[in-house]
Structure 1
Amino acid sequence: MKWLTIPAAVIALASPLTTPPPGGWPIIAWAHGTIGLADQCAYSVAGPGSPQRDWEYLGTWMRQGYAVVATDYAGLGTPGQQPYLNGAVEAANVVDGVTAVTRHFQAVSNKWMVVGQSQGGQAAMFTARLATELGGEELDYRGAVGTSVPAYNEELIAMVGPGFPPMKISTYNTQAVLYILNGLRTSHPDLDIDSYLTAGGHHWFVRAQQTCQRQFHQELAGADVVIGDLLAWPLRDLPEGILRNYLALPETGFDKPVFIGQGLFDTNIITPNTLRYSAVLTAAGQPVSVHTYPTDHSATVNASLVDSVPFVAAAFA
């Protein structure tokens, strides 16, 4: 497995250790999960947040004969802050990465699919909705795989505020709220997100920008941080529609097959919400297939391969 980096586009390409087939290797675009907001956390700098899991996963795709493209999201290793969970931005980043690789390397095909986990699962859904439009005739988009897709975060975030019961939210989700607030401020600087934070909240809000996900999680857990103590005002007081416009996943307009995989013991992503989202897509006639696994958040990535490998092969065929 060898990574080739294109610094200007902040992307990396890993190709199978085989001779390219006629027309080049089809591309798997990897939309990674949450790794942090700081530049030193960027995938092109620090690599996977869960190395053993992710190398096993990405190695499987390469053994199937696909080239893997991993793109940094905007604000990771580049100027500015990351607009965390801004799906339209993530989709543009993924498509730009695929475009750059196809222009720089003759050994790859213009046929491609996106796969992603957690934050990357959300990015995969937005990419699936926008890929044909963003890639134009230059790229041949075939479909998407999203695992641990975070759905209806806009409803969950709106419930958080001062005095929020401390036993009702995990450290992982406290971290996610702080990341989302950072993303909102980056995408909508006019919102004055800082005014929604207590002094303690501002400390952890800034700390979220300075550390990588694993360290930040450990710091929050060690300090026994309670999300209700971080907020001066309930987040439902944000301007009407802002959370939905920022966080809501697309529910229509998918033009290629979409695979959603969800672990039934996932306590990071709200499993009933992901299943609800899957049902909404199915009811709307979208080309979605849904698979569940007796796994937690992280283990779903590789558990899903038994179904996603044939799904991807069929989409490329």
Structure 2
Amino acid sequence: MRKSVIAVIALSMLPFAATATAQPAAGVGSVVGVEALSTQATLPGSARAERLLYRSTTVGDAPVTTSAAVYFPAGQAPAGGWPVIAWAHGTVGLGDNCAYSVAGPAAVERDWAYLRTWLDQGYAIVAADYAGLGGPGEHPYLNGVVEAHNVVDAVKAATAQYPSLSNKWAVVGQSQGGGAAVSTARHATSFGGPSLDYRGAVATGTPAYIEDAIQFAGPGMLPVAVSAHLSAYVLYILSGLRTTYPDLNIDSFLTESGRTWLARAQSGCIGELGEELAAEKPSIGSFFARPLSDIPNVHGLLTSYMGLPASGYDRPLFLGQGLKDTDVLTPETLRWAAELAANGEPVTLHTYPTDHDKTVNASLADSVPFVRALFA
């Protein structure tokens, strides 16, 4: 996520056909096809880059075809193959044309510098699109279990497709991707099975306990115009909630204006939607006809949908957090890290005197040796 206290390019390139989901399920992590990557989605300095289509799952473990960008370092692969970094990207939007493997990262300069560092360290990179981005269906924004499946299945597919890749892998992620990396870390061993050798995770700018704030969303919430990106993320969360729990009838909680904005959020990328919100300046409260607290056990439901696990990690987890980060609730992220430590989880926390964007690359001084040790 970008410019939000809760946690941002289109191409004239059609994503793969929605009819892919009509094919018989061949098993998660199986390869559907390989395509050329657009220039916008190609990491500068990669010796080879391709768009991989593969089978995964979405809400309710329903089968889906999704995609990933795969980047290779220069030179000959070492014995056993290139170790793999799975990149869990931050928010790009909800439209298919916003997908990472179609349009590339929303924060181009920041993310290319970050990923190029990993590439130069001798890691191949597998950058998964999350279900519903660049392919059939809606994207269940911030649904951690779905994102974990998508990341793990991308690594399965890539290691099956490319003999030069090792089955040893780690996951790194920022913002929305920080949450996805954490969820992946929690489930990687069980989701990956014996074919993969998961080593650990790095998450920066990780949004924690968003459910504590969103449960109070309603007509009285922030009745004045706020950051356009904050409004965008509320709309994305409403979309993800609607996709994850269709029986809630989320539209019934919204005003006509709220439904109109939600429809606009479904197709616009984060930059485009942010510009529209900045120009028209709707308040978040104006989206709602009634509060989400009308939903029975709303906090438990939100926690199930977007909450970060506080236990059950079987490999080392690195958390990097900027102390000037106002895009996520930094005190809540630090509270969650403290809870992990209190639970005896294998967590390492590093803080930096930086904001959301600058923490990503500032953390490399610590995360590069951390990941190197995972593969040693």
Whether 2:34 is the aligned partner of 1:6: answer: no
Whether 2:239 is the aligned partner of 1:187: answer: no
In structure 2, distance between residues paired with 1:228 and 1:111: 47
After the TM superposition, list the runs of 4 or more consecutive aligned residues in structure 1 that deviate by more than 6 angstroms.
none
- Of the three residues 359, 367, 375, the one matched with 1:300 is 359
Aligned residue number for residue 166 of structure 2: 109
1:17 Cα offset (Å): 0.5
Paired AA for residue 276 in structure 2: E
1:279 is paired with a residue of what secondary structure? helix
In structure 2, distance between residues paired with 1:68 and 1:244: 30
1:57 Cα offset (Å): 0.5
1:216-267, CA deviations, whole angstroms, 9 ceiling, x for partnerless residues?
1111111112101111111222231211211211000000000011111111
2:181 is paired with a residue of what secondary structure? helix
Paired AA for residue 207 in structure 2: P
1:177-228, CA deviations, whole angstroms, 9 ceiling, x for partnerless residues?
1101101111111000000100111111111001001111111111112101
In structure 1, distance between residues paired with 2:152 and 2:223: 40
2:88, 2:181 within 8 Å by CA — same for their partners in 1? yes
Aligned residue number for residue 5 of structure 2: none
In structure 2, distance between residues paired with 1:244 and 1:103: 34
Paired AA for residue 5 in structure 1: R
In structure 2, distance between residues paired with 1:165 and 1:73: 30
Aligned residue number for residue 308 of structure 2: 249
Aligned residue number for residue 276 of structure 1: 335
- Of the three residues 183, 206, 224, the one matched with 2:263 is 206
2:226, 2:281 within 8 Å by CA — same for their partners in 1? no
1:27, 1:110 within 8 Å by CA — same for their partners in 2? yes
Gaps in structure 1 of 5+ consecutive residues: none
1:137-163, CA deviations, whole angstroms, 9 ceiling, x for partnerless residues?
100000000001000011010122112
Whether 2:332 is the aligned partner of 1:286: answer: no
2:310 is paired with a residue of what secondary structure? coil
Whether 2:119 is the aligned partner of 1:62: answer: yes
Aligned residue number for residue 14 of structure 2: none
Paired AA for residue 261 in structure 1: G
Task: Name whichever of 190-199 and 167-176 sits farther off.
Answer: 167-176
Paired AA for residue 301 in structure 1: V
Gaps in structure 2 of 5+ consecutive residues: 1-45, 55-65
- Of the three residues 254, 273, 276, the one matched with 1:216 is 273
In structure 2, distance between residues paired with 1:150 and 1:198: 27
Task: Name whichever of 152-161 and 140-149 sits farther off.
Answer: 152-161
1:114, 1:128 within 8 Å by CA — same for their partners in 2? yes
In structure 2, distance between residues paired with 1:53 and 1:164: 32
1:84, 1:180 within 8 Å by CA — same for their partners in 2? yes
2:49 is paired with a residue of what secondary structure? strand
1:172, 1:268 within 8 Å by CA — same for their partners in 2? no
Aligned residue number for residue 218 of structure 2: 161
1:113 is paired with a residue of what secondary structure? strand
What is the TM-score when the length of structure 2 is the normalising length? 0.83
1:29, 1:98 within 8 Å by CA — same for their partners in 2? yes
1:159 is paired with a residue of what secondary structure? coil
In structure 2, distance between residues paired with 1:5 and 1:127: 21
Whether 2:119 is the aligned partner of 1:44: answer: no
Whether 2:131 is the aligned partner of 1:80: answer: no
1:169 Cα offset (Å): 5.1
**Paired residue total:** 317
1:167 Cα offset (Å): 5.4
1:170 Cα offset (Å): 3.1
2:225, 2:282 within 8 Å by CA — same for their partners in 1? no
Structure (1 or 2) with the greater helix fraction:
1
Task: Name whichever of 7-16 and 209-218 sits farther off.
Answer: 7-16
1:161 is paired with a residue of what secondary structure? coil
2:356 is paired with a residue of what secondary structure? coil
1:166 Cα offset (Å): 3.7
2:319 is paired with a residue of what secondary structure? strand
- Aligned-residue identity in percent: 57
1:190 is paired with a residue of what secondary structure? helix
Aligned residue number for residue 192 of structure 2: 135
In structure 1, distance between residues paired with 2:327 and 2:204: 12
Provide the alpha-carbon RMSD of the alignment: 1.2
2:348 is paired with a residue of what secondary structure? strand
What is the TM-score when the length of structure 1 is the normalising length? 0.98
1:171 Cα offset (Å): 2.5
Q: In the superposition, relative to structure 1, how do residues 165 and 11 fare at CA in structure 2: closer, same or farther (>3 Å)?
A: closer
Aligned residue number for residue 197 of structure 1: 254
